[in-house]
Amino acid sequence: MLHASDNYWVSGLVVLISLIIVLNVVIAQQGRVPNIRRIPGLNAIDEAIGRATEMGRPALMIPGITGLGVGTLAGLSILGNIAQSIARFGNKVILLSCDPIVTGVAEETIRDAYTNAGRQDLYHDEDVRYLTSEQFAFAAGAAGIMNREKPAASFLFGDFFAESLIFAETGQQIGAIQIAGTPQTEQIPFFLAACDYVIIGEEYYAASAYITRNPTYLGSIVGQDFAKLILISIVLLGVIGASIVQFGHYHAGFGHISVELQKLLDLLKA
């Protein structure tokens, strides 16, 4: 499906969901700020930061291994909020980046975090390091740095792939508290096995809302929940429709209805 005009029902559904999200963001920005449920993994962030400060060891951050995409930007947003708390505790951050542009954005994000916390004196250029764009060379470099700098806390938020277990298991073996999240669901089993706290699926995109309680994020979450309601009802209606169509094979009387219903079901066929 290259263009919206290929199937107006599909693109219409996406536009409807987009409008619902934007509407809820605007509503929340005008004061009606909703509340959201607890996300277990994220309560541990303060505990991890406290521990790192007590032990006088830095905190490690990795914003995933892809370029500037929506997943990486969500990760940087979370890491920026965490860095601000770390700065307030007067501790050091080491952020390892796998993409030149992400390095530039990360440098500004961490520098702003320290400035907002009034501790720009603690921020050094070497705290944000670009290693390489090659997946496994980056993993080798990160594992080496983790073993040598021995961070007490490790925050892994972004797009991770096969190398995810190298970061997580290395962090576990140097005794760091690890909190991880990624939109790549195939890697969540490995974070579950090796990290202390893991945020799963859409919790990744709800993390910033949960940490900052910012109206824009909270409004967006409400919009996403409404969208989920719509999708669930579409699926259930589809299941009922498909069942009736199947039932039509047994009763001739249903023949006409099932043809119409089949057309309705195929509206969402890209």
Partner 1 sequence: MTDPNGYLQHILSPSLLFGALGTIALLSLVFKENKLYRLFEHIYLGLALGYDVETTWTEALRPQLWDPIVHDGQWVWVLTIPVGLMFYGVYTRRFEWMSRLVFGIFFGAAAGTVFQDMCQRFVPQVRKSFKPLVPPPPHPGDIHATLHAVSYVLNNALFITILVCVITYFFFAFDIKNKVLLLMARSGRLVLMFAFGALFGATIMTRMALLIDRMYFIFVDWLQWAPK
Partner 2 sequence: MKHFFQPINFHEHPGAFYGHIVLGLAVMFGVLGILQAVPRQYRKWIIAVFTFLGGLFYVAEFFLPAHSGKNSLNKYDDVVANIFVVVGAYAIGLGVISLLQLHVRKVVRTAPGWGNSAALIISFLGMTVFGLLNEYAPHRLLFHGRLFSQGIRVTNSSVFDFLFTGGIANFGSAIFSMIAFFIASAAYRAFRVRSLESSLLMTAALIIMLGSVGFGTILTNWLPLGNDPKSEFWANFRIENIAQWLLLQVNTPAQRGILFGITLGELAMALRLWLSLERGSYFDKEV
Q: How far is the CB of 270 from partner 2 (least distance, A)?
A: 13
Contact partner, 256, from partner 2, partner 1, none, Cβ < 5-8 Å per class: none
Q: How far is the CB of 248 from partner 2 (least distance, A)?
A: 26
Q: How far is CA 74 from the centre of its chain?
A: 6
Residue 236 binds to partner 1 (criterion: CB under 8 A): yes
Number of residues that bind partner 1 (CB under 8 A): 75
Beta-carbon contacts of 6 under 8 Å, excluding residues fewer than 6 positions away, are 270
Question: Toward partner 2, which CB reaches closer, 6 or 46?
Answer: 6
Q: How far is the CB of 50 from partner 2 (least distance, A)?
A: 20
Residue 19 binds to partner 1 (criterion: CB under 8 A): no
Give the position of tokens 């209606």. Answer: 237
> Please, which of residues 161-200 interact with partner 1 by CB under 8 A?
185-186, 188-190, 192-193, 200
Binding segment toward partner 1, per CB under 8 A, in 97-105, 114-122, 151-159, 175-183:
97-105
Beta-carbon contacts of 214 under 8 Å, excluding residues fewer than 6 positions away, are 208
Sheet holding 197-199, edge to edge: 128-130, 93-97, 59-62, 153-157, 177-181, 197-199
- Phi first, then psi: give them for residue 166, nearest 5 degrees: -65, -45
Residue 50 binds to partner 1 (criterion: CB under 8 A): no
114-133 footprint of partner 1 as x/- string (CB under 8 A): -----------------xxx
Residue 36 binds to partner 1 (criterion: CB under 8 A): yes
Contact partner, 129, from partner 2, partner 1, none, Cβ < 5-8 Å per class: partner 2
Contact partner, 262, from partner 1, partner 2, none, Cβ < 5-8 Å per class: none
Residue 257 binds to partner 1 (criterion: CB under 8 A): no
**Does residue 184 come out as left (phi exceeding 0), alpha (psi in the -120 to 50 range) or beta?**
beta
Calculate ∠ Cα 209-37-189, nearest 5°. 80
Contact partner, 214, from partner 1, partner 2, none, Cβ < 5-8 Å per class: partner 2
Q: How far is the CB of 89 from partner 1 (least distance, A)?
A: 26
Question: Toward partner 1, which CB reaches closer, 43 or 243?
Answer: 243
CA 93/CA 61 separation, integer angstroms: 7
Bridge partner list, 197: 179
Instruction: Give the CA distances from residue 37 to residues 8, 34, 81, in Å, rounded to whole numbers and listed in that order.
Output: 35, 10, 19
Closest CA to 178 of 77, 54, 41: 41
Residue 242 binds to partner 1 (criterion: CB under 8 A): yes
Out of 22, 247, 255, 259, which residue is the one contacting partner 1 (CB under 8 A)?
247
Residue 16 binds to partner 1 (criterion: CB under 8 A): no
- Phi first, then psi: give them for residue 165, nearest 5 degrees: -70, -25
